[in-house]
């Protein structure tokens, strides 16, 4: 029987309103915009103000004929190596964004993750555009004619194979690890990328590359600030078990990210024996083409300084740093690193 009320007034039945059933948790789409960390809300605002369009870079100034065929392949190769990292960015952070929604984190965390997803799509687009401009169809869908081209394609295929090894583990890690462990890996990735692009923006000779590295580097520095803010919130109150996990994650980050920042250590990477020798030749051509790739020693020094900074930070929270003998950094031995340990972020 319909309840009648005077026109314009709401219905409150005699027995009161019926409470809606509780929404099962975890669940997506929190119906609130809780702010606990004002700085994160500000970082999200900054991300909106600093947005740019990769289509607007002066691509006409990147003329294939200004480079030797070897330099074109070298630069394409370096960007393909980068794409092996940046290409995972949008999907990694899209998953993390969904996870943050499901976990009903405070609103600025959800929004910051969304902004990183957006930025990573731009970074990925930069890889795409440089590669398409210099080697149409690259990195994998063109017909290599020289030994150098064949070596480049083969190396890229091996990297792609390795990239494909951690994806399943990453998906599972979202539910396996607490956010503080995930954020530590994100932080390592952002330390690596901001270090890389800052160094290259100073060294690149070509104006288009300088412009790209400057803009991308600015994004990465903001991503790092976001991760550090979140960690500052999450690190106090860590259990010893989680601290041990974080120490291992730091080593996993080093193993994974060295591929683009320096050279891969002898762990995790499944690559043929000739990979590194060919990699060095290809990267040297990129260097000669004015891309701004640092020398082996400069890369090592840059990476070492960045990791020493991470060490100081984590030790302040009572988290041990892993041994990185490759860069003369001592610390704890964390044993084997497998695909399930890699949380890919850049």
Question: Which residue is listed with tokens 């990147």?
Answer: 62
Other beta carbons within 10 angstroms of residue 234's beta carbon come to: 18
- What is the DSSP code string of 129-171? HHHHHHSTTTTTSS---SHHHHHHHHHHHHHHHHHTTSHHHHH
Q: In this chain, which stretch among 59-67, 151-159, 215-223, 247-255 interacts with Fe ion, using CB under 5 A?
A: 215-223
Rounded distance, CA 233 to CA 229, Å? Answer: 7
* Residue 200 beta carbon to Fe ion: minimum distance, rounded to whole angstroms: 13
The answer to whether 166 and 234 have CB atoms below 8 angstroms apart is no
The answer to whether 69 and 286 have CB atoms below 8 angstroms apart is no
* Residue 223 beta carbon to Fe ion: minimum distance, rounded to whole angstroms: 4
* Residue 226 beta carbon to Fe ion: minimum distance, rounded to whole angstroms: 9
Element spanning 110, H or E = helix 107-134
> Which residue number, 177 or 197, has a Cβ lying nearer to Fe ion?
197
> Which residue number, 213 or 269, has a Cβ lying nearer to Fe ion?
213
> Which residue number, 71 or 185, has a Cβ lying nearer to Fe ion?
185
* Residue 149 beta carbon to Fe ion: minimum distance, rounded to whole angstroms: 27
* Residue 103 beta carbon to Fe ion: minimum distance, rounded to whole angstroms: 21
Of 102, 116, 110, the closest CA to residue 29 belongs to 102
Site size for Fe ion (CB under 5 A): 6
> Which residue number, 96 or 151, has a Cβ lying nearer to Fe ion?
96
Of 309, 333, 315, 175, the closest CA to residue 248 belongs to 333
Q: In this chain, which stretch among 67-75, 96-104, 217-225, 276-284 interacts with Fe ion, using CB under 5 A?
A: 217-225
Query: In this chain, which of 104, 129, 222, 223 binds Fe ion, going by CB under 5 A?
Result: 223
Rounded distance, CA 48 to CA 53, Å? Answer: 12
Task: Enumerate residues 56-115 that contact Fe ion by CB under 5 A.
Answer: 86
Q: What sign for the dihedral angle of Cα 202, 200, 213, 48?
A: negative
Q: In this chain, which stretch among 51-59, 96-104, 218-226, 284-292 interacts with Fe ion, using CB under 5 A?
A: 218-226
Query: In this chain, which of 123, 203, 222, 311 binds Fe ion, going by CB under 5 A?
Result: 123
> Which residue number, 116 or 334, has a Cβ lying nearer to Fe ion?
116
Binding site for Fe ion (CB under 5 A): 86, 120, 123, 220, 223, 346
């Amino acid at each position: 029987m319909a309840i009648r009320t005077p026109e314009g007034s709401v219905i409150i039945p005699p027995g009161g309103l019926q409470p809606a059933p509780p929404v099962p948790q975890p669940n997506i789409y929190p119906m609130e915009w809780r702010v606990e960390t004002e700085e994160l809300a500000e970082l999200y605002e900054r991300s909106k103000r600093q947005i740019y369009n990769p289509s607007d870079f002066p691509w006409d100034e990147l003329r294939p004929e200004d480079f030797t065929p070897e330099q074109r392949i070298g630069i394409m190769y370096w960007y393909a190596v980068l794409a092996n990292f940046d290409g995972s960015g949008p999907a990694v952070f899209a998953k993390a964004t969904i996870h943050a929604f499901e976990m009903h984190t405070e609103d600025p965390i959800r929004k910051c993750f969304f902004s990183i997803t957006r930025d990573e799509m731009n970074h990925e687009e930069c890889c795409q555009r440089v590669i398409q401009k210099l080697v149409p169809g690259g990195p994998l869908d063109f017909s290599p004619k020289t030994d150098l081209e064949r070596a480049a394609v083969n190396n890229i295929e091996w990297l792609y194979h390795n990239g494909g090894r951690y994806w399943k583990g990453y998906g599972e890690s979202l539910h396996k690890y607490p956010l503080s462990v995930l954020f530590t890996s994100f932080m390592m990735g952002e330390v690596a990328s901001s270090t890389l692009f800052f160094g290259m923006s100073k060294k690149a000779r070509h104006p288009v590359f300088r412009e790209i590295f400057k803009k991308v580097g600015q994004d990465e520095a903001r991503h790092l600030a976001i991760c550090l803010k979140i960690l500052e919130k999450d690190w106090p109150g860590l259990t010893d078990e989680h601290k041990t996990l974080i120490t291992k994650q730091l080593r996993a980050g080093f193993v994974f990210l060295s591929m683009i920042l320096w050279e891969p250590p002898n762990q995790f990477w499944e690559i043929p024996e000739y990979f590194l020798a060919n990699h060095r030749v290809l990267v040297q051509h990129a260097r000669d083409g004015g891309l701004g790739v640092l020398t082996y020693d400069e890369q090592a020094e840059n990476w070492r300084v960045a990791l020493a900074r991470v060490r100081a930070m984590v030790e302040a929270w009572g988290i041990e740093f892993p041994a990185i003998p490759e860069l003369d950094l001592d610390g704890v031995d964390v044993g084997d690193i497998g695909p399930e340990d890699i949380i890919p972020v850049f």
